[in-house]
Amino acid sequence: ELNREQSERYYQEALDVIVGGVNSPSRSYKAVGGGTPTFFAKAKGPYMWDVDGNRYIDYLAAYGPLILGHGHPKLVEAISQAAMEGTLYGTSTPWEVQFATMIREAIPSMEKIRFVNSGTEAVMTTIRVARAFTGRTKIIKFEGCYHGHSDLVLVAAGSGPATLGIPDSAGIPQSIANEVITVPFNNIEAYEDALKKWGHEIAAVLVEPIVGNFGIVKPKPGFLEKVNELTHQYGALVIYDEVITAFRFHYGGAQNLLDVIPDMTALGKIIGGGLPIGAYGGRKEIMEQVAPLGPAYQAGTMAGNPASIRAGIATLEVLSERHWYAQMDHLGAQLEEGILHSAKKYGHNIVINRLGGGFTVYFTNHTVENYQDAKTTDTEKFARFFKGLLDEGILIAPSKYEAWFLTIAHTQKDIDDTLQAVDRVMSKL
Ligand code: PMP
């Protein structure tokens, strides 16, 4: 057991002044049976240090953005420059033009782009723009996918294959949930049923083209193509939420990797290099709905701020040296193989869904293709796995639905050390 005195102390203080002691519910250890969240105070490369001085190999990567690892020199330089030359002007800047151009070169379907401050804002605005463009109000989303915390997307499935939503949070009126239809991912029949029933009221479908929010789940062959085809047949738009996936698996969007092109795209996480950012974009005639050109309003005091934008440029410049993705894939494959090996050795049923440097370990004996599959995996065993890893100085997200993320900073030695730790944890599960 690691010494956690300081984390314990900060947590007690935090509980007094910050609601629930955390600034995002996923940081509490509720999904792993409770306990004191670890408080961190330093990070470098693939490592983080908690307030008691314990070192961890970081596979959380801040839920995705930290693909360069912590404190990459190019990123430090970019952010320092911004600190010296101005972090916020409230005006147009050259960097936002450069950055939008870089993004469009990598994700050409984003013909026109707008920067915002978070993934939540990006997705929220794509929906508004799609509604403005189509003159319709309903949206379809896939069960278990997370698209930020705006009202429309915090709506969960009811019972049945294609259902009108139920609010997934207090404070969201049923009238808003009535605008959302939820269907299981990777189930084209359910999707087609939903369109048959509500197709002519649908403004857009919201898709994580590779799911990141009930673990890493790839679309079945042909699924996204068929979603595109059916959606367009009913005059609705396809929105890809690439907040997690863009620049995660290769230099570009999942849409470019899979060669299926949406009408609009939302970005966040990696494109800010660890600073707050979001972006949305899409076909020119759709984006021309946005103010000042069109009637759909969206604005932001912090939008396009030089600090986030310059951090984003630095991040993409590093990532565009494309061998990094091969390296993360190589190390990811070793982790996958080693974790499977240890699980088998000690008789634990696990399934790993991996793509490049991102993967999820599910405690189950069935494949995971949709949310129900992920939901029915062993929550308690995962919780013991998480806590065992934490005691070994391996940091992953405290939820069975999240991914491990490699960064370009992880080394062969980190992988070897991790696999030894995993083996010890599996031996005691
Ligand atoms: N979309 C997806 C796919 C996400 O994973 C997230 C965050 N986990 C969001 C949107 C929301 O992004 P943010 O937390 O930056 O608001």
CB 59 within 8 A of CB 67: no
Residues (pLDDT < 50) of the chain are none
Pick the atom of ligand 1 nearest to 121's CA: 16
Q: Judge if the beta carbon of residue 148 lies within 6 A of ligand 1.
A: yes
Residue 322, pLDDT score: 75
Q: Judge if the beta carbon of residue 209 lies within 6 A of ligand 1.
A: no
pLDDT in tens, 58-83: 999 999 999 999 999 999 999 999 99
Q: Judge if the beta carbon of residue 123 lies within 6 A of ligand 1.
A: yes
Residue 69, pLDDT score: 98
Q: Does the global pTM surpass 0.95?
A: yes
pLDDT in tens, 322-338: 799 999 999 999 999 99
CA-closest residue to ligand 1 atom 9: 148
Q: Can you tell me which residue has the tokens 């069960």?
A: 143
- Enumerate the β-bridge partners of residue 157: none
Cα 52 to Cα 10, 56, 57, 62: the distances in Å are 11, 12, 15, 20
Pick the atom of ligand 1 nearest to 118's CA: 15
Cis bond before residue 292 (omega within 30° of 0): yes
| Terminal CA-CA length for the chain | 15
Residue 157, pLDDT score: 81
CB 275 within 8 A of CB 308: yes
Domains with residue ranges and CATH for the chain: 5-71+322-428 (3.90.1150.10), 73-319 (3.40.640.10)
Q: Judge if the beta carbon of residue 304 lies within 6 A of ligand 1.
A: no
Residue 162, pLDDT score: 76
Q: Judge if the beta carbon of residue 119 lies within 6 A of ligand 1.
A: yes
Q: From the candidates 138, 141, 269, 400, which is the catalytic residue?
A: 269
E-strand ranges in 21-149 read 40-44, 47-50, 55-58, 112-116, 138-142
Q: Judge if the beta carbon of residue 147 lies within 6 A of ligand 1.
A: yes
ipTM associated with this complex: 0.99
Residue 336, pLDDT score: 98
Pick the atom of ligand 1 nearest to 278's CA: 15
> How many whole angstroms from 53 Cα to the centroid of ligand 1?
30
Other CB atoms within 10 A of residue 129 CB: 27
> How many whole angstroms from 346 Cα to the centroid of ligand 1?
36
Pick the atom of ligand 1 nearest to 119's CA: 12
Q: Judge if the beta carbon of residue 212 lies within 6 A of ligand 1.
A: yes
> Is residue 146 annotated as a catalytic residue, yes or no?
yes
Residue 323, pLDDT score: 94
CA-closest residue to ligand 1 atom 7: 148
Residues 52 and 34: their CA atoms lie apart, in Å, by: 20
Structure letter (DSSP) for residue 63: G
Provide the pairing of β-strand 278-282 with 112-116.
Answer: antiparallel
Residues 174 and 153: their CA atoms lie apart, in Å, by: 13
User: CA triplet 167, 172, 175: central angle to 5 degrees?
Assistant: 80
